[in-house]
Structure 1
Amino acid sequence: MLDHPKPPYPDQKQPMPGTTAKMDPRPDHGESSYRGSGKLKGKKAVITGADSGIGRAVALAYAREGADILISYLNEHDDAHEVKKLVEAEGRKAVLIDGDLRNPDHCRSVISRAVQDFGRIDILVNNAAHQATFKDIADISDEEWQLTFEVNIYAMFYLAKAAVPHMPPGSAIINTASINSDMPNPILLAYATTKGAIHNFTGGLAQMLAPKGIRVNAVAPGPIWTPLISSTMPEDAVKNFGKQVPLKRAGQPAELATAYVMLADPLSSFTSGATVPVTGGKPFL
């Protein structure tokens, strides 16, 4: 059994969107543990939010499985360049594109760049997300509510719509939902609401794209130790992050990677419309 850090974690706070270097302990992205076996050899993948956290772990795993990666990120340039080096160290092509996915034109630019560099898209991982914590609905501004929806669910629509014409039969779209899709945390009202929408979007899009031979699934993580946590959660919540699940610890990004690999694997050709929970033992209905 791997030895993973458990709370309480050291006091820490960083501004949004957060960086890997300022995390204590540093998240495990699978650098020393994930071993590929060619499941995605020759595949072309677009991963949003791939500079850190879950997206970074997925990018590394996909590269070790043989895929070329487009790394979409907001503005965390140091983290993104680290991921690029990790992907290239596996002998795979890595393309960086920064920018705000709230902008529909930027979403289309992400897909256009992938098609320009790769010729097609076999895997689209919609992972980028925004969250902020509020104790009272009166504290959530109109702008904050809109921002959360634009990043978390609108961008998925724009990206999927642009990508589908370039995805051959057998391709896969994988969305990042959350335990909050099923059990919403009240201090994450906007975020949790978008994650419920993602769960629904996944099921509907899977049915819509089935005739094209494109599978659509989601992963629903529980509490995962990423820069999003230390840059958006109250300090006491960060210190005790993950304590609420049966395993009594936060998950590490590397522990999500195998779920994303499974859903991208062409051998999972009958798996579509599913949401795979990785929640540390917390039930997901």
Structure 2
Amino acid sequence: MASKYQKFPPQSQETQPGKQYLMNPLPISTNPQYKPSNKLQGKVALVTGGDSGIGRAVCYYFALEGANVAFTYVKGPEDRDADDALALIREAAKENDAGEPIAILADLRLGEDECKKVVDKVVSQFGCIDVLVNNAAVQYYKENIEDITEGQLRTTFEINIFAYIFMAKHAMKHMKEGSSIINSSSALAYIGEQTLVDYSSTKGAIVSFTRSLGLQLIKRGIRVNGVAPGPIWTPLEVASLPVDRVVTFGKEAAMDRAGQPFELAPSYVFLASNECSSYLTGQFLHPNGGMIVNA
């Protein structure tokens, strides 16, 4: 069988989490063959980092399923991506009787107060939160641990795990029985990556956080699960990896290619829908192109 692998054009970006509109080729957020079935009709969903990559696809699919969608983005590098995401989500919302989506400017590394402000804005707009997707992340390529500065380490943990905890802490106050929290981890949480030590460490922390909070919230009827993707073509990769790694991105997967954001989004829909995944909590789905992980 011939390999499906194709190299990506050489490219790089200077700021994280990266600009989707500058990527070549553009990530694919939609799949015209997907058939929605009102799995999230009338629900309120908040997605961090929803302007691009995996987050944008998740927002779009949630709107296809009838959810009222809010997402966060970072000012400056993501302004255009946020506008593009809003237009895409708005189109899906109109077709499926969902409310007007909202984009919330936020820098989640600022801590608990910033996370609470995001939650408060969503509740002010929609009245509650039924689904929280913790998805925003940064990663920094370093070949030696000696090159990881304290500032980098703090930023990585503040965005990749601290914000997840703070968002859950405040969102759950506005959740009822049947609600869902979904955390984005990574295959690297299970297999590691020698050039992404601090990033992989935060993704491992997300796994433990998900399993622990899932147990704690059983009594409240709130499920906590996660998705641990393999190599997915998103702005984060172009903004953080050296060009030679970008060109061969996805080669490490058994399917011999990078995944696209639209290939992950149905996993989030499944976990968000109480009708589909009511007996799952503390668990992870692994859309990773055949990578072997000890899950």
What is the TM-score with the length of structure 2 in the denominator?
A: 0.93
Residues 238 and 209 of structure 1, relative CA distance in 2, 3 Å threshold = same
Q: Deviations over 1:73-114 (max 9, x none)?
A: 112111111111122212232111112101221110110001
Cα deviation, residue 245, structure 1: 1.1
Q: Name the counterpart of 2:161.
A: 153
Match of 1:283 among 261, 276, 292: 292
Matched letter for residue 83 of structure 1: A
Cα deviation, residue 34, structure 1: 3.4
Q: Name the counterpart of 2:82.
A: 80
Matched letter for residue 42 of structure 1: G
Q: Aligned partners of 2:198 and 2:247: how far apart in 1?
A: 22
Cα deviation, residue 282, structure 1: 0.6
Contact 1:31 1:60 in 2 (8 A): no
Cα deviation, residue 26, structure 1: 0.8
Contact 1:58 1:257 in 2 (8 A): yes
Matched letter for residue 9 of structure 2: P
Matched letter for residue 68 of structure 1: N
Q: Aligned partners of 2:282 and 2:174: how far apart in 1?
A: 20
Contact 2:157 2:202 in 1 (8 A): yes
Are 1:190 and 2:198 an aligned pair?
Answer: yes
Cα deviation, residue 31, structure 1: 5.4
Contact 1:42 1:67 in 2 (8 A): yes
Are 1:205 and 2:213 an aligned pair?
Answer: yes
Cα deviation, residue 222, structure 1: 0.2
3-state DSSP class of the match of 1:96?
strand
3-state DSSP class of the match of 1:72?
strand
Q: Deviations over 1:114-170 (max 9, x none)?
A: 100010000000000010100011111010011000000000011000011100100
3-state DSSP class of the match of 2:102?
strand
3-state DSSP class of the match of 2:109?
coil
Match of 1:135 among 140, 143, 168: 143
3-state DSSP class of the match of 1:203?
helix
Cα deviation, residue 189, structure 1: 0.3
Q: Aligned partners of 1:21 and 1:70: how far apart in 2?
A: 20
Cα deviation, residue 5, structure 1: 7.5
3-state DSSP class of the match of 1:221?
coil
Higher mean C-alpha deviation, range 141-150 or range 28-37: 28-37
Contact 1:7 1:241 in 2 (8 A): no
% same residue: 43
Match of 2:108 among 77, 101, 106: 101
3-state DSSP class of the match of 1:282?
coil
3-state DSSP class of the match of 2:196?
helix
Match of 1:123 among 128, 131, 138: 131
Q: Aligned partners of 2:171 and 2:204: how far apart in 1?
A: 23
- Runs of 4 or more, structure 1, over 6 Å off, are none
Cα deviation, residue 21, structure 1: 1.2
Q: Name the counterpart of 2:178.
A: 170
Q: Name the counterpart of 1:11.
A: 10
Contact 1:177 1:195 in 2 (8 A): yes
3-state DSSP class of the match of 1:29?
coil
What is the TM-score with the length of structure 1 in the denominator?
A: 0.97
Residues 70 and 5 of structure 1, relative CA distance in 2, 3 Å threshold = farther
Residues 33 and 77 of structure 1, relative CA distance in 2, 3 Å threshold = farther
Cα deviation, residue 16, structure 1: 1.7
Q: Deviations over 1:29-48 (max 9, x none)?
A: 01544332111000000000
Q: Aligned partners of 1:127 and 1:99: how far apart in 2?
A: 13
1:23-102 map, 5 Å: 23-30=23-30, 32-75=32-75, 76-90=78-92, 91=94, 92=98, 93-102=100-109
Cα deviation, residue 6, structure 1: 3.6
Higher mean C-alpha deviation, range 219-228 or range 102-111: 102-111
Matched letter for residue 204 of structure 1: S
Q: Aligned partners of 1:245 and 1:88: how far apart in 2?
A: 33
